[in-house]
Chains A and B, each alone.
Chain A
Amino acid sequence: AQTVTQSQPEMSVQEAETVTLSCTYDTSESDYYLFWYKQPPSRQMILVIRQEAYKQQNATENRFSVNFQKAAKSFSLKISDSQLGDAAMYFCAYRGNTGTASKLTFGTGTRLQVTL
């Protein structure tokens, strides 16, 4: 079974600075997809960024980018120019490409605080 590990329960960053959230995963599949979701205090789950394992180029969405290291099974999220609105829980998620169902497996989350 696939597992997703987020080893940083909490992180803090000053406004306008850069922060990196870590995520590692374990899988025997060669083709899969990785996601970062944001959960603000409203509880709504919001997709931040996605990465296809077959793509070598790291995904980027405005201030959010990933460092995808397939051999190391690592998928970190970098937030540049942090804003107060970035304060939230961040979940890393894995989705395989085989079998009859495409399940999303989540890590335990990292709570990000943004300070002035």
Chain B
Amino acid sequence: NAGVTQTPKFRVLKTGQSMTLLCAQDMNHEYMYWYRQDPGMGLRLIHYSVGEGTTAKGEVPDGYNVSRLKKQNFLLGLESAAPSQTSVYFCASSWGSPNTEAFFGQGTRLTVV
């Protein structure tokens, strides 16, 4: 099994450009999450989804949009990238039961110049 796969692994964007990060999981998990990791700030939740066709805002949703048209995929979009969105982005997925482990992708390092 591949687990959770993020595409791309690295990306450099110019301010104002748009892009989409793709997360795919093959474990049939209901829940999927997008986090960003910044030095000294841990992982902060951007958006999450509890099932196909549903999304919700996390702690830091501004400047991002998401979609979950298929259960196995969770897309994170940046419509107009800003330098403040330079970060490492992690996707995660889990079963709905709260005691279950969340599985993470390998991360996407995004730099906005």
Contact = CB atoms under 8 A, between A and B. Distances in A.
Task: Answer yes or no: do A and B interact.
Answer: yes
Interface of A: 4, 6, 9, 32-33, 35, 42-45, 47, 50, 52, 91, 95-97, 100-109
Given A91-B42, A103-B58, A107-B42, 10 more contacts: A35-B101, A45-B102, A50-B101, A52-B99, A95-B98, A100-B50, A101-B50, A106-B35, A106-B42, A108-B40
A95 to B, nearest CB: 5
A102 B107 contact: no
B112 interface: no
Contact of B98 (A45, A91, A96, A108): A96
Contacts of A42: 106
B33 A103 contact: yes
21 contacts: A4-B42, A32-B98, A42-B106, A43-B106, A44-B106, A44-B107, A45-B90, A45-B104, A50-B101, A52-B99, A91-B42, A95-B98, A97-B98, A101-B31, A102-B94, A102-B98, A103-B48, A103-B58, A104-B45, A106-B43, A109-B42
Contacts of A101: 31, 48, 50, 56
B97 interface: yes
Nearest to B96: A102
Contacts, number: 58
Contacts of B45: 103-105
Interface string B56-89: 1010000000000000000000000000000010
B101 A47 contact: yes
A21 to B, nearest CB: 14
A50 B97 CA distance: 13
A9 B81 CA distance: 30
A67 B43 CA distance: 23
A9 B90 CA distance: 21
Contacts of A97: 98
Nearest to B94: A102
B42 A108 contact: yes
B21 interface: no
A-B residue pairs, 7 tightest by C-beta: A45-B104, A102-B98, A108-B42, A106-B43, A106-B42, A43-B107, A47-B101
